[in-house]
Amino acid sequence: MLIIIFINYLSIRNESILDEKYIEIQNTATKHLTTLQNVVTTLKIKRKDISFTPIRHRQDYFGELSLTSSVSSLDQYVSLPMSIDDNNNRQQLLPPTGVRQVGQWGNGSLEFWCPSGLAITRNNEHLIVVDSWNHRLQMLTIDGQHIRSTSGRKGRGFEELNNPRDVCINKSNQWIIVSDSGNHRLVVYDINNFQVQRLIGGQDSQINLHFPFGICCDDDDLLYVCDRGNNRIVVIRFNDGMLIRQWGRKGTQQGEFDAPDFICCRQNILAVSDFNNHRIQVFTLNGQFLFTFGKLGSGDTGEFRYPRGVAIDDEGFFMVADWVNNRLQLFTPTGELSAIVSDKNSESSNDDLALLKVEFDRPIGLTVSSQGVVYVTEWGRSHRIIIY
């Protein structure tokens, strides 16, 4: 397996600055070689070291630097850092290595029918996947092996689900919380045995959820829920199921929504995919509006056609599943487009944009591990999870 990393600089058209730019590229090569060597030599999979050949580099006089290394005895996947800094202070997403596909259509173990939201357990050992149209959850190992599933019975009963959409894990890593959208409630499972412990919301609840979709949990065990049918965000205390606050109504202005879909929180930041408004809205955890990015379209200037899953990495970058455009897009912590991941990437008028080639078919759910591994669910023909 060969890892190839490209760092592109602006084309050098003025020969008088050629030597100066060449020295700059050499210095950058040295810096990134050191960084990448430190990363790849410490990567482990299943407690076994991965062996790498020494990283080689080549730079030319017109601003392209390439770093290469080969990997031996690799039977899983490798994740390199999501982003690095170059001397022009631009962030570049590294090309995904070892892209894997897990699952297929069906109702057996490791088979899915429209997989939706997914979450990584707090100890980074397991992946919980919402198998939406099979009305169940599946627990996988972090590298995609099946462990167990819930019953898969559709209905309104205590142990039943009706088109669940998203999932999160509470702070103690003991409870799984699922948005049971068709039953207008949240369902709490014990992470150890997949047994239902209690319900939040539902027909007799004062919270009055209406098709809850995206859900996340902060470090204070507060649940943030996209109440899609009511075009609002609700905050629920996990311990007792009490409504703490809410905001939003149907509209196009700041803090208004048209079918809020998925939600993600990290530190004091909350990102919401505003489905029919084709944008991402960013708030504090208290609901204070910060900024928005995105508009309707299919171009390379931060456009979406129905954004769905959203994730925030450790550096504050936003990753968005651009559903109908069949791609992922990466944005800086201030909402500037940084990279596009798609099977149609060939060229762009944006010189600062990284274009990466991975094929997607209606990407919907999205999460990023603390090691930078990206997990994406697909609602298209494949009914699978892509890991890279």
Say whether pLDDT at 284 is over 80: yes
End-to-end CA distance of the chain: 14
| 121 and 42 housed in the same domain | no
Q: Kindly report the average pLDDT of the chain as a whole number.
A: 81
| 136 and 270 housed in the same domain | yes
**What is the rounded distance in angstroms from the CA atom of residue 86 to the CA atom of residue 260?**
36
| 62 and 211 housed in the same domain | no
Supply 234's token pair. 């609700």
Q: For residues 42, 44, 48 and 52, what is the CA-based torsion angle, rounded to 10 degrees?
A: -60
Strands 303-304 and 295-296: parallel
Residue 35: pLDDT band with limits 50, 70, 90:
low
Confidence at residue 91, expressed as pLDDT on a 0 to 100 scale: 39
Confidence at residue 150, expressed as pLDDT on a 0 to 100 scale: 95
Asked whether residue 92 is domain-assigned, the answer is no
Confidence at residue 272, expressed as pLDDT on a 0 to 100 scale: 99
Tens digits of per-residue pLDDT, 40-51? 443 333 333 444
Asked whether residue 110 is domain-assigned, the answer is yes
Asked whether residue 85 is domain-assigned, the answer is no
| 60 and 154 housed in the same domain | no
Supply 89's token pair. 């202070």
214 C-beta neighbours (distance < 10 Å), count? 30
Contact at 8 Å (CB) between 43 and 50?
yes
Domain stop point among 75, 110, 131 = 75
Give residue 190's identity as a one-letter amino acid code.
D
69 vs 241, more confident: 241
Asked whether residue 89 is domain-assigned, the answer is no
Residue 177: pLDDT band with limits 50, 70, 90:
very high
| 158 and 68 housed in the same domain | no
Tens digits of per-residue pLDDT, 93-138? 344 456 889 999 999 999 999 999 999 998 889 999 999 999 999 9
Residue 275: pLDDT band with limits 50, 70, 90:
very high
| 106 and 61 housed in the same domain | no
- How many structural domains compose the chain? 2
Asked whether residue 14 is domain-assigned, the answer is yes
Tens digits of per-residue pLDDT, 328-357? 999 999 999 999 998 765 555 565 677 777
55 vs 48, more confident: 55
Residue 27: pLDDT band with limits 50, 70, 90:
low
| 121 and 58 housed in the same domain | no
| 274 and 363 housed in the same domain | yes
| 118 and 53 housed in the same domain | no
Q: Which residues of 309-321 are buried (b: 16+ CB within 10 A; e: fewer)?
A: bbbbbeeebbbbb
87-94-375 Cα angle (round to 5): 145
Query: The pTM is what?
Result: 0.76
| 232 and 341 housed in the same domain | yes
Kindly state the average pLDDT of the residues 302-311: 97
Say whether pLDDT at 36 is over 70: no
352 C-beta neighbours (distance < 10 Å), count? 15
Asked whether residue 83 is domain-assigned, the answer is no
Asked whether residue 359 is domain-assigned, the answer is yes
Asked whether residue 90 is domain-assigned, the answer is no
**In 3D, which of 118, 40, 129 has the Cα closest to residue 79?**
40
Confidence at residue 205, expressed as pLDDT on a 0 to 100 scale: 77
**In 3D, which of 106, 107, 127, 102 has the Cα closest to residue 117?**
127
Residue 16: pLDDT band with limits 50, 70, 90:
very low
Range of the domain at 245: 100-387
For the chain, percent of residues with pLDDT exceeding 70 = 71
Confidence at residue 30, expressed as pLDDT on a 0 to 100 scale: 61
Say whether pLDDT at 19 is over 50: yes
Confidence at residue 332, expressed as pLDDT on a 0 to 100 scale: 95
| 65 and 105 housed in the same domain | no
CATH number of residue 223's parent domain? 2.120.10.30
| 60 and 108 housed in the same domain | no
Contact at 8 Å (CB) between 235 and 218?
no
